[in-house]
Structure 1
Amino acid sequence: MWIETIVMPREEPAAEYRPAPQRDRSAAHAAACVMGEQFRDTVLSYLQSHALMDSVKWVSAPGSIPLVTLHCTSNVLEQLQREPRFEAGRSLTFSVY
């Protein structure tokens, strides 16, 4: 059975919030897209090195945030949850009438 799984990088507890200095939004967006692509590559590398790609049906394209959505088996989700670099869980499904 295929499940939809969301994977994000595990974050350390943040220190006190400080607003970032103003900067060009296009440069910030480009940098965020690079981070999103690097994170996707990290997840795919993990899946390949652990021979899990046969249990993955679909992987989302990289975006502007470090987040990957997978259609995979529950075994893949369990493996991703054990990896300390990732936060992984099932996406919420609901019926719409």
Structure 2
Amino acid sequence: MWIETIVMPREEPAAYSSPAPRYDRESGQQSACAMGRQFRDTVLSYLQSNELMSAVKWISEPGSIPMVTLHCTSRVLEQLQKSPEFEAGRSLSLTGF
């Protein structure tokens, strides 16, 4: 059975303790998109190195935040949750309401 899983980087509690530096919107958008691509590449690398790609049906394209959505099996979700690199969980299904 395929489930929808959301994966984000695991962050240290003090990650947002200092104010963000100021920059213009264009460079901020470019930087955010680069971080999104880099995170997606990290997730793909993890899935490939742990031989989990056969249990992944779909993976989202990179966006402007470091987050990836997968359609995968529960085994993939369990492996991602065990990894110290990622926070992962099932997305809320709104079907049947």
With the length of structure 2 as denominator, give the TM-score of the two structures. 0.92
1:26-79 CA distance string (max 9 Å, x none): 000100100000000000000000110000000000000000000000000000
Residue of structure 2 in register with 1:74 after alignment: 74
Residue of structure 2 in register with 1:32 after alignment: 32
- The alpha-carbon deviation at position 8 of structure 1 amounts to 0.1
CA–CA separation in structure 2 for the residues paired with 1:49 and 1:33 = 24
* Cα distance change, pair 16–88 in 1 and its aligned pair in 2 (3 A): closer
Q: Which ranges of structure 2 fall in alignment gaps of 5 or more residues? A: none
- The alpha-carbon deviation at position 15 of structure 1 amounts to 6.1
Residue of structure 1 in register with 2:85 after alignment: 85
Q: Which ranges of structure 1 fall in alignment gaps of 5 or more residues? A: none
- The alpha-carbon deviation at position 94 of structure 1 amounts to 1.6
Residue of structure 2 in register with 1:20 after alignment: 20
1:57 equivalent in alignment to 2:57? yes
With the length of structure 1 as denominator, give the TM-score of the two structures. 0.92
CA–CA separation in structure 1 for the residues paired with 2:40 and 2:15 = 26
The alignment of Structure 1 onto Structure 2 pairs a total of residues equal to: 97
CA–CA separation in structure 1 for the residues paired with 2:55 and 2:89 = 16
- The alpha-carbon deviation at position 16 of structure 1 amounts to 6.7
- Could you say what secondary structure the match of 1:5 adopts? strand
Identity level (%): 70
* Cα distance change, pair 78–19 in 1 and its aligned pair in 2 (3 A): same
* Cα distance change, pair 16–56 in 1 and its aligned pair in 2 (3 A): closer
* Cα distance change, pair 21–41 in 1 and its aligned pair in 2 (3 A): closer
More off after superposition, 7-16 vs 30-39: 7-16
